[in-house]
Amino acid sequence: MTRRTLHFTTTACLLLAPAIALAQGASAPQGVVLRIDPRLIAEAAEVWSVIAGRENLIWPGWDASDTPILFYLPGEQDVLINHPRPPAGFVAYDGSVRFPGGRILVRDGPGFIQADGQNTSRDIEGVRTLIVADALSNLRQDIRGLLADDPRPPAEKAQGLDFATLATDPYNQLTLIVHEAFHVFQQRVAPDKGANEMLLLHYPVLSVENNVGFAQEGAALAAALRSESDTAFAAAVVRWLAVRRQRRSALPREAVEYENGVEFSEGLAKYAEYRLLQVLEGRTPRHEMWWVQGFRGYDDLSSRRSALIDKMLQHMRGEVSVNNDPYGTAPLRMRLYYSGLAIAAMLDRLAPSWKERIVRPEVSLTDLVADAAHATPADLATALEGTRWQGDHEALVAAKRDLAARGRARIDTVLARIEHGPGTGIIVDYGALETPRVGLAFTPFGIMVVDSNRTIYTQVPIRARFPDGSDLAQTQPLPLLHDKAAKLIRFRLPRALSKEEMARALRSPSLELPEVVVHAAGATIRREGKDLRIVLGAPHHHAQNR
């Protein structure tokens, strides 16, 4: 699942020009009305003018002309464009809005996706399809986050809702579309290459040395991308390579593999955004784009590219809060989006034919830089020594030590709340199963590693499946602990169960509550103090309170 960076968005009412909007005498069939914002179709058509065809300047060999697009507004409408096998229920739209080279189909009511803000790709009828949420869906997601997560008083929160904050940036929409479209291309050319999110469980997120090294890498990457002379560029490349090798020498193999995977999958999609801002510069926009709120053309996009480099620096230094969790995996994962972008952009200058090799299973972005830089061990040693005398090195070390201490305290606090906090605890014990494994559905943006056996999952409702067919599904995000050694999954409800709910739970092998549903035929549920323990693989009997 791809989660967009949180920012406020809103829709614009559009009167679109010919070819995508107002055509004299044309009207949609009765009852077939676009409920998604037509600007999305205009923006996708603009991106398709760059990536749909043989002369793709972002990535040679990528022709998106046969990639279907789904725009969706949860519970209201799905709009499907250019799909070869549309599912049942879709009807042709023949109104004023057009998408060049693709037919538009519409289906009202509950659609494929009910969650807000899901800009991603997925299979629809066996065809990988780009998915983009309507601006209203993104806005609703952001407002929910503001209401639920922002501790400020309502009046203070309302003061920040100025028009600049609420407006949807059309350039961000263009780059979002090309990012997700590139994922469809990646699935086609390298379906087995990417990140295994379970490797995050081996990642030392709070390591002081690793986080200092990331910040130093970011500085070297920015210096390389902004250097005007070949000499300065080459020096920055060697400095980056030296720091990366030193940093990675202390990482577990699984952590290095994870970095390579995310830099390939998400980093290259972020690089596609950067390249789009290069390719569009100086182009004449499609006429429809002038009806998009906030659009100013493509005369000079250098400030937007520079802003991406600035964001890379901030993420690499750990200065950006991602999902309001500076201590978990969210900042790490987003950091790799930007490091992948910067390394790829650096390779454009260092080894222009690098794209032919990166799709091979065994090749990483780091490998390509190492091959092209031709740095000797002496070169690397000299460059690494220089980083230790940089002016902010000691401040970086101090900041990362403080981060590690605060992060450890935060993890211990969350763990204590799950195990001993207020509310009724739910414990699923799967140790008696013949095959004691569990499959988890989670977001890699919400993981806190307690130790080698215990992991806490947050941010989204978690689902767990067990080998005996039992499953657990949260209906709201509640921090969930998986203890592989004890073979337990546990979390705590935000409330204490009533006597009636507790009695009903103890009479059944399964559990159905507003916050969670556990289907566990053949299990035993027993009370342990204020908590409920569900023992899988144990014959059901009337449980005794303990």
The Cα–Cα gap between 323 and 5 comes to 9
Q: Within this chain, do residues 246 and 387 fall inside the same structural domain, yes or no?
A: yes
Among residues 393, 391, 272, the alpha carbon closest in space to that of 337 is found at 272
- Indicate the range of 94-103, 175-184, 332-341 predicted with least confidence: 94-103
Residue carrying structure tokens 């590219």? 305
Asked, for residue 327, whether it belongs to a domain, the answer is: yes
pLDDT single digits (tens) 280-299: 999 999 999 999 999 999 99
- Rounded to the nearest 10 degrees, the angle between the axes of helix 377-387 and helix 230-248 is 80
Is this prediction's pTM over 0.85?
yes
C-alpha to C-alpha distances, 338 to 234, 269, 302, 446, 493, nearest whole angstrom: 20, 10, 17, 19, 36
pLDDT recorded at residue 6:
34
The Cα–Cα gap between 338 and 282 comes to 25
The Cα–Cα gap between 219 and 228 comes to 16
Q: Within this chain, do residues 256 and 355 fall inside the same structural domain, yes or no?
A: yes
- Residue 254 is which amino acid? E
Across 57-64, average pLDDT: 96
pLDDT recorded at residue 538:
64
The Cα–Cα gap between 495 and 132 comes to 36
Q: Within this chain, do residues 99 and 159 fall inside the same structural domain, yes or no?
A: yes
Q: Within this chain, do residues 132 and 280 fall inside the same structural domain, yes or no?
A: no
**SS3 label, residue 448:** strand
Q: Within this chain, do residues 396 and 477 fall inside the same structural domain, yes or no?
A: no
127 is written with which tokens?
């065809």
Across 357-367, average pLDDT: 97
Q: Within this chain, do residues 392 and 465 fall inside the same structural domain, yes or no?
A: no
| Structural domains counted in the chain | 3
Out of 169, 187, 220, a domain closes at 169
Pair type for strands 480-483 and 454-457: antiparallel
- Residue 444 is which amino acid? P
Q: Within this chain, do residues 394 and 437 fall inside the same structural domain, yes or no?
A: no
Let me know: does 131 contact 121? Beta carbons within 8 Å.
yes
pLDDT recorded at residue 156:
80
How big is the CA angle at 255 (ends 254 and 260), to the nearest 5 degrees? 95
Answer yes or no: is pLDDT of 546 > 60.
no
C-alpha to C-alpha distances, 533 to 463, 509, 546, nearest whole angstrom: 17, 11, 11
pLDDT single digits (tens) 232-275: 999 999 999 999 999 999 999 999 999 999 999 999 999 999 99
Pair type for strands 488-492 and 480-483: antiparallel
Cβ of 35: how many Cβ atoms within 10 Å? 14
Let me know: does 443 contact 3? Beta carbons within 8 Å.
yes
pLDDT recorded at residue 30:
56
The Cα–Cα gap between 106 and 100 comes to 17
- Residue 458 is which amino acid? T
Asked, for residue 542, whether it belongs to a domain, the answer is: no
Q: Within this chain, do residues 287 and 385 fall inside the same structural domain, yes or no?
A: yes
Asked, for residue 21, whether it belongs to a domain, the answer is: no
**SS3 label, residue 32:** coil
C-alpha to C-alpha distances, 539 to 138, 430, 432, 522, nearest whole angstrom: 47, 13, 11, 6
Beta strands across the sheet bearing 524-528: 447-449, 454-457, 480-483, 488-492, 425-429, 531-535, 524-528
Answer yes or no: is pLDDT of 4 > 60.
no
Query: Looking at residue 88, what DSSP letter applies?
Result: T
431 is written with which tokens?
């140790």
The mean of the pLDDT values for the chain is: 89
Is 165 or 487 the better-scoring residue by pLDDT?
487
pLDDT recorded at residue 25:
33
Answer yes or no: is pLDDT of 18 > 50.
no
Q: Identify the sign of the CA torsion 359, 365, 370, 372.
A: positive
Asked, for residue 22, whether it belongs to a domain, the answer is: no
Highest mean pLDDT among 278-292, 388-402, 502-516, 518-532: 278-292
At residue 400, φ and ψ (nearest 5 deg) are -75, -30
Out of 150, 169, 188, a domain closes at 169
Confidence of residue 544 (pLDDT cuts 50, 70, 90): very low
Let me know: does 443 contact 462? Beta carbons within 8 Å.
no
Asked, for residue 18, whether it belongs to a domain, the answer is: no
The Cα–Cα gap between 359 and 346 comes to 17
Q: Within this chain, do residues 391 and 431 fall inside the same structural domain, yes or no?
A: no
The Cα–Cα gap between 146 and 37 comes to 23
The Cα–Cα gap between 223 and 382 comes to 17
Residue carrying structure tokens 């997925």? 122
C-alpha to C-alpha distances, 310 to 174, 223, 226, 313, 316, nearest whole angstrom: 19, 11, 11, 5, 10
The Cα–Cα gap between 211 and 214 comes to 5
Q: Within this chain, do residues 125 and 242 fall inside the same structural domain, yes or no?
A: no
pLDDT single digits (tens) 107-162: 999 899 988 889 999 999 999 999 999 988 888 887 777 776 677 888 887 777 77
pLDDT recorded at residue 31:
61
Q: Within this chain, do residues 341 and 275 fall inside the same structural domain, yes or no?
A: yes
pLDDT single digits (tens) 23-42: 333 344 456 899 999 999 99
Asked, for residue 17, whether it belongs to a domain, the answer is: no
Asked, for residue 413, whether it belongs to a domain, the answer is: no
pLDDT recorded at residue 103:
92
Across 496-501, average pLDDT: 94
pLDDT single digits (tens) 303-326: 999 999 999 999 999 999 888 889
pLDDT recorded at residue 13:
28
CA-based R_g, the chain, Å: 26
**In the chain, what is the straight-line distance between the N-terminal and C-terminal CA atoms, in Å?**
41
Q: Within this chain, do residues 165 and 281 fall inside the same structural domain, yes or no?
A: no
Across 539-546, average pLDDT: 48
The Cα–Cα gap between 214 and 233 comes to 19
146 is written with which tokens?
């503001």
Number of H helices, E strands in the chain: 16, 18
Range of 278's domain? 197-402
Asked, for residue 416, whether it belongs to a domain, the answer is: no
**SS3 label, residue 390:** coil
The Cα–Cα gap between 399 and 406 comes to 11
Is 9 or 287 the better-scoring residue by pLDDT?
287
Let me know: does 85 contact 129? Beta carbons within 8 Å.
no
Across 496-511, average pLDDT: 91
C-alpha to C-alpha distances, 305 to 60, 237, 274, 544, nearest whole angstrom: 21, 19, 6, 64
Confidence of residue 507 (pLDDT cuts 50, 70, 90): confident
Percent of the chain with pLDDT over 90: 77
pLDDT recorded at residue 500:
93
